[in-house]
Amino acid sequence: MRLDRLDQVLFSVKEHPVFAKIKDGTTSRYLSIPSKKAIVNVDRNCVLGVVSRDYRLITNREALDWAYECCVAVFPQTKPSEWEVKATDAPSTAGYCHIDLRHNSAALDFTFIPQSQKPDAFGPFIRVTNSYNGLRALSFDIGFYRKVCTNGLIAPQSIIRFSFNHLRREIGETIKFEIAEDKLAQVRASMSSHFNLLRNCVVPRKDFGTLVMSALLLKRPEPWNPKSRIATEWQALDSELTKMNDRYANELGENAYSVFNTMTEFASHPPVNQCVRRDRHSFQKLTGAWLISFTQECVKSDFSLERYLENTTFAESKLSNISRN
C-alpha cells in the first residue's frame, strides 16, 4: 500500500537519542550511541529511520513550503497561491515522500507539437522529494505532464534540479533557488524538438512492447514457470501494457510518440503488481531518459529500429544506472 494523500505525510516528527541495550547475565543496561539519532513519527510512535548526528531534519511541511518558493523562482511570473498540490506518493512506511505542485491555470501550458499535427498541451510540475531515513536527498525536480491525461515524465539530465543531502553543512535555515533566465526556454525548445522526432519515427505496432519494457526496465521473471504465481502477475502486466499500446497506436499512429505515451501513462500510474518494483518517480525519470537517448539514436543516418531493439540489453544497463541516482 502506498500513501497518496497529503495529510498522510504531514505528520509530526521528532529526533530522539539512540541507545544500545547491553545484557550482562541477568541484568541489562543501556548505553548511549552519540553518533546516531532516531527520527520518530510522533503520531504513530514509530521509528522512521536511524541517522547520523549531523543529519539535518527537514519536515515534509518545511520541504513543501520550500517547493512553493521553488515554483516562483523557476516561474517568476507566478504567485505561490497559484500552485496546488496535485499528487502525493510515499511508501506505507513514510520513510520518504514525493509531492507534486502544478500551476492552476493555462498560463504555463506548453505546446510541444505543431498546430498542424494535432497539438498536445503540456504543463510543468515541480516535485519535491524528502526523506526521514537519510536514503534520499532533499530535491526539487522539474517535470512535464500531458494535459489531456496528466501523464508525465521527469525532465532528464538535471535540466532544473536542486538537491541537498540532509547534512547541516549543506542545508541552512533557508534555501536560495537560483535560475538561469534562459534555461526554461532552452528546455521547451529541446522538448519540442524531441517530440517532433518521435512523431516522425515509424515504429510498427509489434515492436511497441519491446521498446516500452526495455525503457522502463520491466523484465520477465526468471527462471520462467508459466504455472507460478509470479508468472500470472507478469501475464496480467503484459496484458495491461498491450491494451495501452493498442489504444495509443489507434489514437496517434504507429510511431515512437505513441510508444512514448504508453511509457508516460505507465510511469504516472504504475499498477499494483509483483513485477513492478519501482515507484512513480523512478519510472518517470526512466521515461525522460529514454526520450533523450532514443531521439539521439533515431536521427542518425544509419539508424535501424531492428538493430536498436537488438541492443536493448545495453540500453537497459545504461538506463538502470540513471534510475538509481
| Residue span of the structural domain in which 76 resides | 60-181
Same domain, 99 and 176: yes
Q: Would you list the DSSP string of 59-85?
A: -HHHHHHHHHHHHHHHSTTS-GGGEEE
Rg (CA), the chain: 22
Same domain, 112 and 89: yes
- Angle separating helix axes 256-268 and 208-215, nearest 10 degrees: 50
| Cα–Cα distance measured from residue 182 to residue 33, given in angstroms and rounded to the nearest whole number | 49
Same domain, 36 and 17: yes
The pTM for the full model equals 0.85
C-alpha cell of residue 34: 552519540
Is residue 191 domain-resident?
A: no
pLDDT above 60 for 321? no
Same domain, 42 and 116: no
How far apart, in Å, are the Cα atoms of 314 and each of 204, 214, 277, 307, 319?
22, 10, 20, 12, 9
Per the structure, the count of domains in the chain is 3
Lowest mean pLDDT among 28-37, 148-157, 239-248, 249-258: 148-157
Q: What integer best gives the mean pLDDT of the chain?
A: 87
pLDDT above 60 for 256? yes
